[in-house]
Structure 1
Amino acid sequence: MRLSSFSDYSLRVLMYLGVHADRLATIGEIAEAYDISANHLTKVVNHLGRLSYVETVRGKGGGIRLARPAGEIHLGELIRQTENDWALVECFVTGGNCRILPVCRLPAILDEALAAMFAVLDRYTLDDLLHHPAELGRMIPLREAGLRPVA
């Protein structure tokens, strides 16, 4: 199983905002810090805003920040809301063409594995990912003029 880049970028945005919770951040600075597309991040941030994970402040000096405390952002819930394809194999796809589906145990086993993955993810929050914010802040550099990592 592999998460989409959309989910990966969603987690990265939230981690960045969690590390730099004392100020507003911009999509441009986050894109630069992770060396990823600002256009793609714009879509991610819009989606996170619609889901109430981030809030935006418009105008000069505006930016984005977490819309709720990091301890209230559950990883399982986030991944469920940012992934759109859980078809791990062809037989999970409606209209899939598998001759052995009526007797195959693989779908049930993979369903169990997916449920186990979410059982683990549901135990963790964004706050758990931010366990060492100073170290994360050094790993996610601020490159805009005048901005410094949180120490």
Structure 2
Amino acid sequence: MRLTSFTDFGLHVLMGMASTPDRPFTTAELAEEFRISRNHLAKVISSLSAAGYLETRRGGGGGAVLARRPEEILLGDVVAYLEADQALVECFLSGSAACTLTPHCRLKARLAAAETTFIANRNRSSLAECVYPPLNV
């Protein structure tokens, strides 16, 4: 399974923020630390916030902060959420007519099982096990 850069950025942001879980980080700080476009990072942070992994605060001293303890954030759940719109193969998309072999295909069920196993395996690890050293921001 290949992760999108969106998911990769999301995981890196969470691992970096987990080094100081109570500290709010601005988008500018994280963008500089990870060399990510601020606009793209804003979308990542918005998505992580919508999923309940981050809380965002406005105003002075504001920014994004972890909404849960790192031990409570499972990597597989994060990957599954951020990759929700990314089908492993075209025929996994609902209503997709991309595959003409579907009536005869014996691969789809095996690929779906592999994807489920991948996520379950990632859920053996929490964010706490992958924390970066404190960020230099």
Between 1:32-41 and 1:49-58, the stretch displaced more is 49-58
- SS of the residue aligned with 2:21? coil
Q: Which residue of 2 aligns with 1:50?
A: 50
RMSD: 1.8
Match of 2:124 in 1: 123
CA offsets per residue over residues 15-45 of structure 1, 9 Å max, x none?
1110133522111011001111111111111
Q: Which residues of structure 1 form unaligned runs of 5+?
A: 143-151
In 2: Cα distance, 1:109 partner to 1:95 partner: 18
* C-alpha distance in 2 between matches for 1:59 and 1:121: 36
Partners of 2:74 and 2:127 within 8 A in 1: yes
Partner of 2:136: 141
Q: Against the structure 1 CA distance between its residues 85 and 64, is the aligned structure 2 distance closer, same or farther, given a 3 Å change threshold?
A: closer
Greater Cα radius of gyration, structure 1 or 2: 1
Amino acid paired to 2:26? T
Q: Match for residue 13 of structure 2?
A: 13
The aligned counterpart of 1:145 is none
State, as a whole percentage, how many aligned pairs show the same letter.
43
**Number of residue pairs matched by the alignment:** 136
TM (norm. structure 1) is 0.80
Report which stretch shifted further, 100-109 or 19-28: 19-28
Letter in 1 for 2:52: S
Name the residue aligned to 2:24: 24
Larger relative contact order (CA 8 Å, sep ≥ 6)? 2
